[in-house]
Amino acid sequence: MVSARAANHNTSMSVKPTDPHPDSPADPVADPLADPLAWRPLRAPSLAEFEVIAEEVFRRLPGRFRSLCEGLVIRVDDFATDEVLDDMEIESEFDLMGLFQGVGLPFRSEQVSGQMPNMIWLYRRPILDYWAEHEETLGAVIAHVLVHEIGHHFGLSDADMEAIEAAADTQD
């Protein structure tokens, strides 16, 4: 699970205007104050567009990493269900950006038939809300949430991943 309080990573993927004003600067996203009207064509990505971004983020992960995700289902929805929020005792639907559902790879048994595939849920609205409040790119936030949830697929706990991130931060 990735909560809005847990994500804090940077990679680079940026949102560009789809139809910039003809008099706007070459890159209004780089200098939005130069032409505030250049922001008019920008909008939050739809569920389908968000899915495309998530697929591209996944495609850019190392091949060895992706090969361990065979059979993993990645879904995008606006919010977690009320049942999920209640089960996790989460008060606000905006506090859950991603969720892993299933049995981590180290804990799966080939002898148990009928197991559902492991699934990752990315929740568009909480991710967009987090993105709007922070200086990270949307692609970076999606990548962080996706990689975090894939960590659960590999059997890592939130504490395991926090320790890995802390160790990586000390390496910088």
For the chain, give the secondary structure using H, E and C: CEECCCCCCCCCCCCCCCCCCCCCCCCCCCCCCCCHHHHCCCCCCCHHHHHHHHHHHHHCCCHHHHHCCCCCEEEEECCCCHHHHHHCCCCCHHHEEEEEECCCHHHCCCCCCCCCCCEEEEEHHHHHHHHHHCCCCHHHHHHHHHHHHHHHHCCCCHHHHHHHHHHHHHHC
Confidence of residue 103 (pLDDT cuts 50, 70, 90): confident
Residue ranges of domains in the chain: 2-6+28-106+114-171
Confidence of residue 113 (pLDDT cuts 50, 70, 90): low
pLDDT tens digits, one per residue of 137-164: 999 999 999 999 999 999 989 998 888 7
Q: Say yes or no to pLDDT of 102 above 70.
A: yes
Question: What is the reported pLDDT for 10?
Answer: 31
Question: What is the reported pLDDT for 42?
Answer: 78
Q: What's the angle, vertex CA 161, arms to CA 72 and CA 112, rounded to 5?
A: 40
Question: What is the reported pLDDT for 116?
Answer: 85
Q: What predicted TM-score, i.e. pTM, was given to this entire model?
A: 0.74
Question: What is the reported pLDDT for 16?
Answer: 34
What is the C-alpha separation between 34 and 32, in angstroms, rounded?
5
What is the C-alpha separation between 164 and 146, in angstroms, rounded?
16
pLDDT tens digits, one per residue of 24-70: 445 545 565 677 777 777 789 999 999 999 999 999 998 888 998 99
Residue 74 CA to chain centroid, in angstroms?
11
Q: What is the mean pLDDT of the chain?
A: 81
pLDDT tens digits, one per residue of 83-97: 999 999 999 999 999
Where does 2-6+28-106+114-171 sit in CATH, by number? 3.30.2010.20
